Structure 1
């Protein structure tokens, strides 16, 4: 087989001949794009090399476990062969080629069973939520209320609320005036699936909301509207506009990173856990149906603890 970049023993294997048949099938009968066939040829060439290295020269000898072990090899890499470990996305792409090949072999009667059909791609690594240090959050909040005019008062109230109670941006812009109780310092949020929850609101956020209700919102409300956060025309503030409010505030605060409304939600959860809050309490505040969803934030705090330990403990290294 040509173009695989593998050694002669591999090229001479029966599996290599079957790969060639499969690639011809993709090209002629399926009309696959040239780039797709090239990608499959490279991925299956690596698969052939792996099988031969395990003493497997016939496709009928391959087991489901062999396919799974191949994915492990891809993730591990081969330093001696100059092959770097593959990312999960690249492994998943390679598995598509391998599964397609085995499915073709079974359909053509080359083998009895398709041993690769039940092999799943690796789970992508869990991405930790991005949160901001407390001083950067405070800088954003201060910059949002730098001016004393209706929209500035609204912007400060909106961002204070997002950080104070961890609300989703969709929950915040859906609020009506009656959903806020400034005396008991609580807000009623309507989350996913229409589920409601009442969460506490901190003093600075209540102060900002009071200032907005007294000096800001009346100037924006051209007619009677229940919405809490209004745009310049007196209608309910949109999701895009709320996002822009935060982006502008972050820019004025001098932050050179992307900041989204969800960043404030992540920061809310992380700062609570760093302060000793129970994960189940944070779950309720965030409106998560399962504590498993909230536990991703505990990974953030564990990583922070590791960093502090590594730099502060005399016997950490």
Structure 2
């Protein structure tokens, strides 16, 4: 059954990127291994792989196992249940009715401060036209690394004024049009002019090419951004100041601090509204100001 699921994931050319496919496969394997080893007969009378009621009971029992035996954090428990839901959808049963673990209030995602932003953009401006365009796209459009690698030249719309960057394959198949910041527009125009002379420019639709003339991979785009951050003197890695995702978070937090509505941030970055709100959690001053603004009829 797991082999069946793996084959289904391998055929998936839609909303799931390679990393998500790998993680889903691992989590479903763990779930099926738990089902095979666990004694769930007392609570699950029918087959949890074919019967909806048994599916729900098994998923709820698995959540308890993750929380109490495996000692997983709430966010990890919910991520496992999401993968289990994907497994059941592909079996035609639909997602399990299992309540998600309550999450503690989430801190704002890590972002660069103004000094580090300036340093990184300054270093990006010194890079090649392609690498500069990659860095500016990540910062000024808030795109994910995998979204950058999937961009085509037709996704850059450059009318006489303004312009848009079209993200056709966002997370969960999302489509969005991001207005071009003037700095990003200028850099993309520069890159498109240089791209015409690159190997593969006449045959590949990819916006960003590698030296062989093929589409630049997500891994290579990641390497480009890390090299720029390293040259800017930013600590790298999970515990450092910089990971490529930090540029996206920086864009979201900058907009939030400037008063941009969370709905707009969610739309521009391809986020859920709940996730977008994390970019600027309400402060004590925000709460007090909200109460003081209440209208009182005397």
| Bucket of the pairwise TM-score, normalised by the shorter protein | 0.5 to 0.7
Take 2:258 and 2:163, find their aligned partners in 1: how far apart are those partners?
21
Change (3 A) 1:199 1:121: closer
Aligned residues: 191
Whether the 8 Å CA contact 1:92–1:122 is kept in 2: the answer is no
Higher normalized helix content (fraction of residues): 1
Whether the 8 Å CA contact 2:140–2:181 is kept in 1: the answer is yes
Could you say which residue in structure 2 is the equivalent of 1:302?
283
Higher RCO (CA < 8 A, seq sep 6+): 2
2:126 counterpart of 1:143: no
Whether the 8 Å CA contact 1:185–1:203 is kept in 2: the answer is no
Change (3 A) 1:188 1:250: same
1:124-158 Cα offsets, whole Å, 9 max, x none, are 663431100133123212212314xxxx1111001
Could you say which residue in structure 2 is the equivalent of 1:82?
none
2:134 counterpart of 1:178: no
Q: In angstroms, what is the RMSD of aligned CA positions?
A: 3.1
Residue 198 of structure 2: SS of its match in structure 1? helix
Residue 219 of structure 1: SS of its match in structure 2? coil
2:210 counterpart of 1:231: yes
In structure 1, list runs of 5 or more residues that go unmatched.
Answer: 1-29, 31-90, 97-119, 307-317
Whether the 8 Å CA contact 1:161–1:201 is kept in 2: the answer is no
Could you say which residue in structure 2 is the equivalent of 1:272?
255
- Which residue among 185, 188, 191 is the counterpart of 2:166? 188
Query: Structure 1 residue 206: deviation in Å?
Result: 0.8
Greater Rg, structure 1 or structure 2? 1
Aligned runs of 1:1-317 on 2, under 5 Å? 123=103, 126-147=106-127, 152-183=128-159, 184-190=162-168, 191-221=170-200, 223-256=202-235, 257-288=240-271, 290-299=272-281, 302=283
Q: TM-score, normalised by structure 1?
A: 0.53
Take 2:284 and 2:150, find their aligned partners in 1: how far apart are those partners?
35
1:88-146 Cα offsets, whole Å, 9 max, x none, are xxx956979xxxxxxxxxxxxxxxxxxxxxxx987466343110013312321221231
Take 1:205 and 1:130, find their aligned partners in 2: how far apart are those partners?
23
Change (3 A) 1:93 1:158: same
Residue 188 of structure 1: SS of its match in structure 2? strand
Take 1:247 and 1:235, find their aligned partners in 2: how far apart are those partners?
21
